[in-house]
Structure 1
Amino acid sequence: MMGDVSAIGLSSTSLVIFLLLYTSFATHLPQPAFDEKTSSFKVGVILNLGTKFGNSSRLCMEIALSDFYLAHSNHKTRLDLVFMNSPNDPLSAASAAENLITKQEVQAIVGPQTSEEAAFVSLLGNANKVPVISFSATSPSISHEKTPFFIRTAMSDSFQASAIAALVSHFTWKQIVPIYEQSEYGAGMISYVVNALKAIGAWVPYRTAIPPVSSDDFISKELLKLMNMECRVFLVNMRKSLALRLFAKAREAGMMDKDFVWILSDGLTSQLGTIRPPILRRDFYGVLGLKTLVKTSRKLQDFENRWLKVSRNDNLEVDRSDLTVFGLWAYDTVWALAVAAETEFQTNPRSENNLKTGWLKTILDVEFNGISGEFQLSGGERKRPVFEIVNVAGSSERTVGYWTEKGLQRYHSGEGSNFSTEGLSPVIWPGDTTVIPRGWVNPTVGKKLRILVPGPVKTGFHPFLRAEKDPKTGKLAVDGFVIDVFETALKELPYAVPIEYVQHNITGSMKKPTYDELVQFVFQQKYDGLVGDVTITANRSNYVDFTLPYLPSGIRMIVPLRDDWSGSAWRFLEPLSWKLWIVTGGFVIFTGFVVWVLEHRFNDAFRNSIKDQVGTTSYFIFSTLVYHHKEAIKSNLGRLVVIVWILVVLVLQSSYTASLTSMLTIRHLKPITFELRELGTQDSIGYLRGSFTGKRLLKEGFDPNRLKPFSSPEEYLDALGKGSKSGGVSAIFDEIPYIRLFLKNYCKNYTMAGTAYKAGGFGFVFPKGSPLVPDLSLALLRLGEGDRILEIEKRWFGDLSSCGNNESTLTSDRLNMAMFWVLFLITGLSSTFAVIGSLICFLHGKRRQLLERNPGERLMQKVVSVANTFDEKSVKSTGVRQRKITEMSSSRDLFDSSFIGRSENGPWIPSPSYCPSTSTDFSPPEERSLPNEQKTRAEEGTSNQ
């Protein structure tokens, strides 16, 4: 942090002048009046009084002391500040602290200036139970938890870690390289940054530590190393003097141009205002920085004016920018000690033992609103701050947003302390561009990425991947679907990525590495990536990053096909589905009933006893199925119903015959089993050697002795052909892409079966946090959306559906109800309308007879009467025949007795009225139903004759 940065040292002459004039310094500040009873609290202060930072902090403390007692002139205590000089040397600081504790007998020590010094002084304070309060030592390695008498009134550098991680996440960077000063101050917060980045999925691939006394040549060499790496996001945490040299060399190396990102820690960002504008514009243009937010107030402005006036009266060459947040913290620290001294004096008797036991707690409990903001300690540390995010644009810095515990936010001007979640304002990056850097580029020295490929690969899987070493040249030749997809995706990237394909121990080892072992090699960073048919799994994703899958996958089985003659005695039933059999039988019965209704009254074939009627009707309707019916149909409606029914029977019979012929003459095959769990306890199962499918089978509970690994489709074919009983296997458990490749050549005898187990698909493998992963994933998405991957697949595999896409769901010759529902609808409607029409005509012809019945009859008697009337035989007639009968009425011999009756006046002629398509009653008048009176007269006339 900036408090650990030593500003440019004052000359020795200036230091002498300061010591001579120090005794008269009190005349520059208004002094409060104290009575003789005022109690003094001695507080030692250790600073580097030979630096601008040290003298600036001293003036802030003096002004705080004057302001406090002018505002609290009635207090009974007064702080007495005893200053000691320490030139940024831990031993000197420890010596000064020992002098203050033993000789000056101070009750507290403020300082020292750097974290290295504070580490020594805090140990002395802890041993002597003297509180050590630091407003500038920001390294998290020193804490109240480790040394209880150490109190930090500055902000711990560990607080910055979350803000830095939020920036990295906001701009979707995956890597960041810390460049820090090799000191307690520089290295203290790095571990916190690493952990915060890990929580958001980013990581630190490299660290650069630069000693404070490094030469410019050393700095240039370290920057050259970074230029040769992919990462272009850098975090700088060092003192200002070293940072000025670093950025000057970075500009000379071309690292302040496009594609580079520089983030400054709080300590360095807070001192940007002390850097001369020409240097800031030239060497720091486009950098981002974190700076503790201090809200502007009237009290703060008054303090700045007085500090500037006093500094110039003291012959210090300073301006307003030299007053940093550390000076404000120094002011608030002295104010807090003055409050604690008065509180301690009022609550505890002035004894040495009580002072040491209660004094520390009193300091920790102090709360007030200072010029730097709310002063409140928690666990010996200042409360977590709000960071202002600034961007150097030209010779000044501009605010682009803020970080709070809620995340990155944009400040609304004019709305007090309210924040919004609108994100950050646009940032001007190095190279004077507003385009967000990707954070990663191809190394400028042309380093090739070493891409690992599986191998050696069996011939049967060469369409997927072929990787063979040329015995003459020694070069590795690779091609196949996987390589084609990978290289096509690389061409989609907006930058070049030189690669080199390698295999692991291709000649030095007889054992082929498993895919899990290949993934581990990438995790161990032995290789820059792994390109192959590698399945994405949860376990592997714990170690490496996968691109989006370029080929979907799943796990199923390859099983043999066998001739399916099971249940052959009932094979004749298979052409029709069971629903179609039931519906057909139902319509046979229904149609028979309809024909009986239409023919019963005037067709002798459908009369006689009930037994004969049932037999005749059943025989008739079933004989229509084979077109062998003999009974004549006399009604027009009956003929219509039968014709429609025979049409349906014709279609059904033809379809049934064709389907049965296909079943009996064509070879029908089916898988041995459709589910993995259906395999018997004696069945052996195969899987692809080196694949994760073997572990999946073990997880399913299969005996390891039943599992057999294979390396090629040819081995699959041989093992499946033998079967489990002959040393082979009953099924092969494998991923769908491999199964499709196998079935392309062998689908006539094998098929894919079983429930599909989910798998993550095939993806390319890279180390955790590799920036290639999101870029390649986006490229693969574009390839998939444009069907270019399908084109590559056809180029290497051909038409995988050329064998009929033979899978576990086999094509069926069975006929189902969906094919014939329209025919059944037609015959059903025609039969229904025929019955309704016939009944209407019957009731119409018998309406007078039915209406003249006894009105007192019950409903059931009426129904029985109608049924009896319907059961009576009627004579069928047509209009043409009726006209002939009328014309021949004079010749009695020409009429058959079955059509013409007799009466006392001569032959009886039927009534000219009749109902089409229904029977007309041609019975003699004397046999008709007449009114009782007429019927009596008719009987009498007959008897007279």
Structure 2
Amino acid sequence: MPESNLSVDIGVVLDLNSPFGAMANMCMSMAISDFYAAHSNYQTRLFLHSRDSAGSVVATTSAVVDLLKNVEVHAIITSDHLLNANKYVMALEEKAQVPFISFSPTQSTQFIHTTQNLSSSVKAIGAVLQEFKWREVVLIHEDTSYGIGIIPYAIDIFQELGIRLVHMSAISSFAEDFEISKALKTLITLMQTRVFLVHMTVSIGSRLFELADKAGMMSKEYVWLITDGMSNSLDAVDLTTVEGMKGVLGIRPYVPKSKDLESFGKRWTSSTMALEKIRLLNISTTFLQVNNTESSIGVENLGVSQIGPRLLNEIFDAKITGLSGEFELVNGQLQQSTFEVFNMIGQEQNVVGYWAQDKGLSRNLGSTKRSTLSNSSKLKKIIWPGHSIKIPKGWDIPKLKVGIPVPEGFTQFVEIQRNPYTKETKCTGFSCDVFLATLEALDFEVLYEFVPLMNAEGRSAGTYDELLYQIEDKV
């Protein structure tokens, strides 16, 4: 390396024992190597210092302290949601003026969110719910700042679309299997809605689906949708769990195919270009020490990065074309205008359509034409849970018991025909015809059973008022 090159230390805090953390750490190292091989003239060099969060608050905090105090990194990259709720880490970050590049949402002003804006993602989900005329949905989210972050968007956007968020089930990322199973059982027994939206990271989400499959919730008439929290990380899910997720619909940002994506050459363009601009301005890459004492390990003993604030501004201003398409931050959040909708069929993830901010749902990019091949005209053929091709109605209701009077002679409105062998009751006449025609007009199937107010001799067992009392008595 030429002597004029400056090394810039960057911290990485990931759960390195998880499939996603290990993969992300490896990809970043590969991307840096590829980038500098193609840009050997750059005078700055990024050096990664990885630390294992081990999925715990204590290990995460210790890793951040070590990187800031001992390594003096000028940025920290993380996907660990544990940082978001850690006030001590937030204080360290603000004091050191070091930007945190996060894969999950947070309220910190120093964080750069490289995940997509949740507002657009929820709008895409809402469009899918509207397409199938599902008016009620249950949200299952992990009980972290990442999981909770979707709630305000879901409430507002679904309300605008006429969709009711009937229940929200929060599940701890540290929940035992029996606790997750208990939460699922509650949803089965207490909720009639069978449309579930899952907003979780892959570690807890994969366990949820494994237990849902065991509980019989991956069968016909169930609807499951997943956000990009899982959609982007399905490669980290074991094959057994993936097989049990047949019929799931996923929403994830659309990434256009390109040679750059195949060659993996521009992964770190935004950070490295930002650092190169700073280097040319001759800003020091050392930490400025403030109130340094031997005994203190708190905020007051932390140095201040002289490059951090400028690096933060440069990344905020970055507008580039990278592996995933256009990269631009608005208020510290990566924007996304197009999502793809995919259907999980075993190990396959079949793309069945797209959602764009300006065009809504469509079967193909750049097209809004409706197909006449199916009722779901804006999306391609979907295989639902239970290997069904029939669109689920979205809720589970018991068979309707329809009370009917037994007429004495006048049968133009109601006439009862009862099979003496099967005991099945059929109803004809004007009133029954209107009822049956109404059921036919619905977009979903309603099971029903006629229950005549009849005695053993086949004659009327009471007045019309007495028939109405059968409703109050729950007969």
How far off is 1:256 after superposition?
2.2
Provide TM-score, normalisation by structure 2. 0.74
After TM superposition, list the pairs within 5 Å mapping 1:858-937 onto structure 2.
none
Match among 53, 68, 92 for residue 124 of structure 1: 92
Unaligned runs of 5+ in 1: 1-33, 305-330, 413-417, 450-483, 500-529, 532-945
Kept after mapping to 2: 8 A contact 1:293/1:387 = yes
1:280 aligns to 2:246 (yes or no): no
Residue 400 in structure 1 maps to residue 361 in structure 2: no
Paired residue for 2:70? 103
2:279 is matched with which residue?
345
- Give the drift of 1:77: 1.8
Please give the per-residue CA displacement for 1:504-532, whole angstroms capped at 9, x wherever unaligned.
xxxxxxxxxxxxxxxxxxxxxxxxxx99x
1:411 equivalenced with 2:364 (yes/no): yes
| Structure 1 position 390, deviation (Å) | 0.5
Deviation of the 1:115 alpha carbon: 1.9
**CA positional deviation for 1:276:** 4.3
- In the alignment, which of 371, 380, 389 is matched to residue 434 of structure 1? 389
Give the 3 Å change call, closer, same or farther, for CA 96–354 of structure 1 in structure 2. closer
Could you tell me which residue of structure 1 aligns to residue 310 of structure 2? 358
Equivalent residue letter for 1:185:
Y
Separation (CA, whole Å) in 2 of partners of 1:371 and 1:198: 35
**How far does residue 277 in structure 1 lie from its aligned partner after superposition?**
4.3
Cα offset for 1:485? 7.3
Structure 1 position 495 matched with structure 2 position 465? no
Over 3 Å counting, the alpha-carbon distance change for 1:75 and 1:242 in structure 2 is: closer
User: SS state of the match for residue 183, structure 2?
Assistant: helix
User: Alpha-carbon deviations, 1:261-310, whole Å to 9, x = none?
Assistant: 111111212233443445433x2111111122222222222239xxxxxx
Structure 1 CA distance for aligned equivalents of residues 398 and 91 of structure 2: 47
Q: Distance in 2 between matches of 1:263 and 1:287?
A: 6
Task: Name the counterpart of 1:391.
Answer: 343
Relative to its length, the structure with more helix (as a share) is 1
Deviations 1:351-380 (A, max 9, x none): 768635433212212222212222222211
Shift of residue 389, structure 1, vs aligned partner: 0.5
Query: Are the structure 2 counterparts of residues 124 and 196 from structure 1 closer, same or farther at C-alpha, using a change threshold of 3 Å?
Result: same
1:261–1:437 Cα contact (<8 Å) kept: yes
How far apart, CA to CA, are the structure 1 residues paired with 2:62 and 2:34? 31
Q: Deviations over 1:177-230 (max 9, x none)?
A: 112222223222123112111011111112222233434443333333322322
Q: CA deviation at 1:233?
A: 0.8
Alignment partners' CA distance in 2, 1:490 and 1:225: 34
Supply the distance in 2 between the matched residues of 1:125 and 1:487 (Cα, whole angstroms). 70
1:254 aligns with 2:209: no
Q: Deviations over 1:678-705 (max 9, x none)?
A: xxxxxxxxxxxxxxxxxxxxxxxxxxxx
Cα displacement (A) at 1:75: 2.0
SS in 1 for 2:22: helix
Q: Given the alignment of the two structures, is residue 40 of structure 1 paired with residue 7 of structure 2, yes or no?
A: yes
Give the match for residue 80 of structure 1. Answer: 47
Instruction: Give the conservation status (yes or no) of the 8 Å contact 1:293–1:386.
Output: yes
- The equivalent of 2:33 in structure 1 is 66
The alpha-carbon deviation at position 486 of structure 1 amounts to: 11
Residues 187 and 489 of structure 1, relative CA distance in 2, 3 Å threshold: farther
Contact 1:231 1:439 in 2 (8 A): yes
Indicate the residue corresponding to 1:53 in structure 2: 20
- In structure 2, stretches of 5+ residues that fail to align are 289-304, 371-377, 403-429, 440-444, 451-470
Q: TM-score, normalised by structure 1?
A: 0.39
Residue aligning to 1:263: 225
Structure 2 Cα separation of the partners of residues 495 and 341 of structure 1: 62
1:301/1:36 CA distance change after superposition, 3 Å: same
Which residues of 2 match residues 640-651 of structure 1 at below 5 A? none
Distance change in 2, residues 1:497/1:89 (3 Å): farther
Deviation at 1:425, TM superposition (A): 0.9
Residues in 2 aligned to 1:300 and 1:375: alpha-carbon distance in whole angstroms: 14
CA distance in 2, matches of 1:342, 1:248: 47
User: Distance in 1 between the 2:213 and 2:26 partners?
Assistant: 36
Aligned-pair RMSD on alpha carbons?
3.1
Instruction: Determine the structure 2 residue equivalent to 1:802.
Output: none
Equivalent residues of 2:19, 2:236 under 8 A apart: no
Within a 5 Å distance, the mapping from 1:173-212 to structure 2 comes to 173-212=134-173
Q: Distance in 2 between matches of 1:268 and 1:67?
A: 27
Quick check: 1:369 aligned with 2:303? Answer: no
* Alignment partner of 1:227 is 2:188: yes
C-alpha separation in 1, matches of 2:178 and 2:47:
48
Kept in 2, the 8 Å contact 1:88–1:117? The answer is no
Aligned mates of 1:221, 1:148 — CA distance in 2: 38
What's the offset of the Cα at 1:388?
1.1
SS at match of 1:103: helix
Give the whole-Å Cα distance in 2 for the aligned partners of 1:489 and 1:162: 36
SS at match of 1:107: coil
SS of the equivalent of 2:157 reads helix
Distance 1:171 1:104, change over 3 A: same
Which of 355, 379, 383 is matched with 2:331 structurally?
379
Q: 1:300 & 1:126 partners in 2: Cα distance?
A: 35
Aligned to 1:336: 270
Deviation per CA, 1:575-616: give whole Å up to 9, x if none.
Answer: xxxxxxxxxxxxxxxxxxxxxxxxxxxxxxxxxxxxxxxxxx
Counterpart amino acid of residue 82 in structure 2 = E
Deviations 1:92-131 (A, max 9, x none): 22222222222222222222x2222244344422232111
Q: d(CA) in 1 for partners of 2:53 and 2:242?
A: 30
1:133 shift after superposition: 1.2
Query: Is the CA contact (8 Å cut-off) linking 2:253 and 2:340 kept in structure 1?
Result: yes
CA distance in 1, matches of 2:275, 2:260: 23
Change (3 A) 1:360 1:254: closer
Structure 1 contact 177–204 (Cα < 8 Å) conserved: yes
**Equivalent position to 2:81, from 115, 134, 139:** 115
Q: Residue 58 of structure 2 corresponds to which residue in structure 1?
A: 91
CA distance 1:183–1:126, change in 2 (3 Å)? same
1:327-348 deviation digits (Å, cap 9, x = unpaired): xxxx73x432211111011135
Would the aligned equivalents of 1:40 and 1:80 in 2 still touch at CA under 8 Å?
A: yes
Whether the 8 Å contact between 2:209 and 2:241 is mirrored in structure 1 is no
Aligned residue-pair number: 391
Report matched runs for 1:598-677 at 5 Å: none
Match of 1:937 in 2: none
Q: Secondary structure at the match of 2:134?
A: coil
> Given the superposition, is the C-alpha separation of residues 490 and 226 from structure 1 closer, same or farther in structure 2, using an over 3 Å criterion?
farther
State the partner residue of 1:239: 201
Cα-to-partner distance string for 1:476-509 (whole Å, 9 max, x where unaligned): xxxxxxxx9799748954424799xxxxxxxxxx
Aligned partners of 1:64 and 1:335 also within 8 Å:
no
Q: Is the 8 A contact 1:176 1:233 kept in 2?
A: yes
Alignment of 1:281-300 (within 5 A): 281=243, 283-300=244-261
Given that residues 227 and 443 in structure 1 are in contact (C-alpha distance below 8 angstroms), is that contact kept between their aligned partners in structure 2?
no
Cα separation, 2, equivalents of 1:267 and 1:486: 49
Residues 342, 351 of structure 2: 8 Å contact kept: yes
Matched position secondary structure for 2:270 = helix
Taking the aligned partners of 2:211 and 2:437, their CA distance within structure 1 comes to: 34
- Which residue is equivalent to 2:460? none
